[in-house]
Chains A and B, each alone.
Chain A
Amino acid sequence: MSNTHGMTPTNSAIFGGSLRIPGEKAAAKPVVRATWKPRQRWRAFSSKLFFFTSLMATVLAVAALIYLLQSVAEQGLDRVSWSFITSFPSRFPAKAGVKAALWGSAYLTVLTAAISVPIGVGAAIYLEEFAADSKLRRFIDINIANLAGVPSIVYGMLGLMLFVRICHFGRSLLAGAATMSLLILPIIIVASREALKTIPTGIRHAAFGLGATRWQTVRAHVLPSALPGILTGVILSLSRAVGETAPLLMIGALSYMAFVPETPMDAFTVLPIQIFNWTARPQDEFHVTAAAGIIVLLALLLTVNALAIFLRMRYQRKAQW
């Protein structure tokens, strides 16, 4: 055995048995060298293979997106015009527009944000910064994670019962926003908690060590540092709300509306419902109108996401990390 120098077998295997204690004379006995199989070519090949596979996955995803955008644009781009955005829907495809749906989506988003952001961020701060590590908290943790996976139609049913019927909100914007808030609250809470978790504990301890209360610590140091992450989570979940249809159909958003909602108690419709309504019509001209509606919806989503990026960059600079 090569274990002659009192080394452990592992050591001699690693160094191929050629390691000697300094000062010792070259071993008289022939040293048995461990065999190495670097498999250099296989490793280089498998690396290339993986690179190619992941590249293909990306290309496929992007190609599908481009195809979608291209076919929608081909069908509907000509139809998008100022009058399309400023007209109410109509029996005549050529006159139909998205005014009510666009305003409905915008109001719904703002109202949803107003309800869900304070509650969601507040809950995240409580769970992450204040709540003691207890069985109850772990139970809440698991449930919030599970709620994020509940199908949206279930939230629609809950909203119908709770807000439309029990709270007597009727089939209003407020009922829709409350339902959407339920839907995105788990996402906001989870994303905000993740953002809070990335803030080093050293910062909190530094503040506590100066005689700060928990709230002072969170308010002055933890929250500002976590804000970019929280904002990203909030805006991404809001853009999910912009695209949702099922729960709003459930609580009875209108599919034909010839006015813009003015108070939270008014009836409403949103872009995805309007688009769904148009695609369900037999006339081909309405499918063109639907494509145009999709373009408006995508533009709205892109705007919201661009806002997320803008805000994140702005606050990141402010936080001076």
Chain B
Amino acid sequence: MVNVGKDQATVFEPSAPYAIEVNDVNVSYGTSRAVLDVSLKIPEHTIVALIGPSGCGKSTLLRSMNRMNDFVSSAKVTGEILFRGSNIYADDADPVLLRRQIGMVFQKPNPFPTSIRKNITWGPGINGFQGDYNKLVESSLRRAALWDEVAGKLGESGLALSGGQQQRLCIARAIAMDPDVILMDEPCSALDPGSTLKIENLLLELKERFTIVIVTHNMQQARRVSDYTAFMYQGELVEFGPTDGVFETPKQELTRDYVSGRFG
């Protein structure tokens, strides 16, 4: 199978306003290149799914959107990523402030080893939240569809919850910051089908308020929840467009083979 060059890729341009614009981004780890010349525009209040075989650079691209790649010492990013119109890789850009506005949910649930309540309040606390913390805890947990399960035990450890509950706690923790964008890296891959369904339903509600970029290796999931889908292969963006189009009438042969399950 041959790689599509950047010029042959089918990249749809959704209408503005955009939450994030990725322009000619390359990411390499030392000498190995993980993301090659990727450009795409993520419209506000939509869910964008990143799909592709494992190792194709989905997580790498996602992490470059809130500069979590800064913590991998070998990672080097070139090109620009615009958030609210300014390049997050500019010299005067502050990654700490950026991450306060672009939240992240990780593949493996990672609640803090503290109480459920403290899990929610810590982020807003260090960022100077002035409002009512009790209300914040309740509204975040409600929006993450977890309130009913934990209302009576906010003082208990976040680690005492089940895997699915922990992941919803992590989503609640991200929501509590009231970010513009939430990045999710295979948030359901460690969860049972029941919890996965809960989180998928949750995503559809959350997009009213946030822009969501979700990496998933589950194509059905991408189809169910996302408005736009980006298919990546060996570091390149092969096709990006409205989800129905990508799955039903893919423009690229590679995309067709992938979404029809011929490889993966």
Contacts and interface: CB of A to CB of B under 8 A. Distances in A.
Interface in A301-321: 319-321
B144 interface: no
Interface in A204-251: 204-213, 216, 220-221, 225
B99 A209 contact: yes
A207 B106 CA distance: 12
A209 B174 contact: yes
Contacts of A209: 66, 68, 99, 103-104, 106, 174
Interface string A236-276: 00000000000000000000000000000000000000000
B157 A211 contact: no
Given A203-B113, A206-B106, A320 B157 contact: yes
A321 B113 contact: yes
Contact of B99 (A132, A200, A208): A208
A209 B62 CA distance: 13
B100 A210 contact: yes
A320 B100 CA distance: 26
B112 A211 contact: no
A19 B122 CA distance: 57
- Residue from B111, B114, B159 with most neighbouring chain A CB atoms (10 Å): B114
Contact of A210 (B113, B114, B173): B173
Contact of A206 (B96, B98, B110, B157): B110
Contact of B177 (A204, A210, A321): A210
A22 interface: no
B263 interface: no
A208 B68 contact: yes
A2 B100 CA distance: 63
Interface string A189-205: 00000000000101111
A132 B73 contact: yes
B108 interface: yes
A202 B191 CA distance: 17
Nearest to B125: A220
B204 to A, nearest CB: 22
B231 to A, nearest CB: 26
- Residue from B96, B108, B112, B115 with most neighbouring chain A CB atoms (10 Å): B112
Contact of B113 (A132, A213, A216, A225): A225
Contacts of A220: 122, 126
A133 interface: yes
A208 B127 CA distance: 12
B38 interface: no
A320 B116 CA distance: 12
A185 B4 CA distance: 56
B170 interface: yes
Interface in B117-168: 122-123, 126-127, 157, 159
Contact of A211 (B71, B96, B106, B114): B96
Contacts of A216: 126
Interface string A42-79: 00000000000000000000000000000000000000
B2 interface: no
B126 A203 contact: no
Nearest to A210: B123
A234 to B, nearest CB: 22
Contacts of B1: none
B110 A212 contact: no
Nearest to B72: A133
A221 B11 CA distance: 42
B90 interface: no
Contacts of A213: 96
A237 B111 CA distance: 33
A211 B100 contact: yes
B177 A211 contact: yes
A216 B96 CA distance: 11
Contacts of B106: 202, 205-206, 209
28 contacts: A133-B73, A202-B106, A202-B108, A203-B112, A203-B113, A205-B68, A205-B106, A206-B111, A206-B170, A207-B112, A208-B68, A208-B99, A209-B66, A209-B174, A210-B103, A210-B127, A210-B174, A211-B96, A211-B99, A211-B100, A211-B123, A211-B126, A211-B127, A216-B126, A225-B113, A319-B113, A320-B113, A320-B114
Interface of A: 132-133, 200, 202-213, 216, 220-221, 225, 319-321
Given A204-B71, A220-B122, 6 more contacts: A132-B73, A208-B71, A209-B106, A210-B123, A211-B97, A213-B96
**Which 8 A-B residue pairings sit nearest by Cβ, starting from the closest?**
A211-B100, A210-B123, A202-B110, A209-B104, A320-B157, A133-B73, A206-B110, A211-B99
